[in-house]
Amino acid sequence: MATLEIRDLHVTVEADNATKEILKGVDLTVKQGETHAIMGPNGSGKSTLAYSLAGHPKYTITGGTVTLDGEDVLEMSVDERARAGLFLAMQYPVEVPGVSVSNFLRTSATAIRGEAPKLRTWVKEVKEAMQRLNMDPSFAERNVNEGFSGGEKKRHEILQLELLKPKVAILDETDSGLDVDALRIVSEGVNRVRETGEVGTLLITHYTRILRYIKPDFVHVFADGRIAESGGAELADKLENEGYEAYTKGGVSA
């Protein structure tokens, strides 16, 4: 069983010519088949956790450990983390001019699987996955995210998730900027992957609306760089009714 273990994680970032500590001792375990929702006010450290796990150079790990199946994630390069089974769906997916979606996906799958997928079966696999996400097949020949709407970019992220089959999927505010229809389609894609029981999901969100579609096993409230409270899905209902004021200093976002 694949397990992501985060222990006493501390992370800093350089901002305004000063070093600021963002994560102040995060402890979290995500096991294969589990879905964990990370919720909290803006600035509480949710996205910092996501990008630190993925290896973004902007963030400096100053303490703690992160392991995946007992292997030291923090000693891995970004591509090694991906090959080990970590997947990040970004809040703001970047455009990659000059690289088609089809080439990007096949190159990624080759790196993950250790060999190039057979072209005929791969084309069928991609086509079927795109149909499930209501994506126009012509998008396969367009440059990665270039000219895509916000919803199209998020569908492409979930397309990658379905095709690459990671051990742990980190979804950073996947619901951001989506209308109701796009949110439903994206959520259905996430649920298809979850239903295999082969992926641990870390779902980072500010709002509870995506949790109406994707039911978490655990909910964790982030505040001031730490997990302030953990519970089941009922904790999300509490946040829907009461907000984050109880977890912030003086009712102001951390």
Per-residue pLDDT tens over the stretch 57-110: 999 999 999 999 999 999 999 999 999 999 999 888 999 999 999 999 999 999
Q: What total of structural domains would you count in the chain?
A: 1
The answer to whether the beta carbons of residues 1 and 58 sit under 8 Å apart is no
Question: Is the pLDDT reported for residue 253 higher than 80?
Answer: no
Secondary element (H or E) of residue 237: helix 234-242
Stretch 175-202: mean pLDDT:
93
The answer to whether the beta carbons of residues 44 and 209 sit under 8 Å apart is no
Whole-number percent of the chain with pLDDT over 90: 81
The answer to whether the beta carbons of residues 228 and 253 sit under 8 Å apart is no
Amino acid at 216: P
Q: What confidence tens digit (pLDDT) does each residue in 31-44 have?
A: 999 999 999 988 88
Instruction: Judge whether 201 lies within some domain.
Output: yes
Instruction: Judge whether 132 lies within some domain.
Output: no
Instruction: Judge whether 134 lies within some domain.
Output: no
Task: Name 73's Cβ contacts closer than 8 Å, sequence gap at least 6.
Answer: 4, 53, 66, 67, 81, 84, 86
Tell me whether strands 3-15 and 18-31 are parallel, antiparallel or unpaired: antiparallel
Instruction: Judge whether 106 lies within some domain.
Output: no
Instruction: Judge whether 162 lies within some domain.
Output: yes
CA 12 distance to own-chain centroid:
20
Instruction: Judge whether 192 lies within some domain.
Output: yes
Q: What confidence tens digit (pLDDT) does each residue in 108-151 have?
A: 999 998 899 998 899 999 999 999 999 999 999 999 999 999 89
Which residues form the domain of 50? 3-89+150-251
Instruction: Judge whether 181 lies within some domain.
Output: yes
Instruction: Judge whether 133 lies within some domain.
Output: no
At 249 the pLDDT is: 65
Q: Which CATH number is 233's domain given? A: 3.40.50.300
* Alpha-helical regions (H) of 62-216: 78-84, 101-113, 119-132, 150-164, 180-194
Secondary element (H or E) of residue 236: helix 234-242
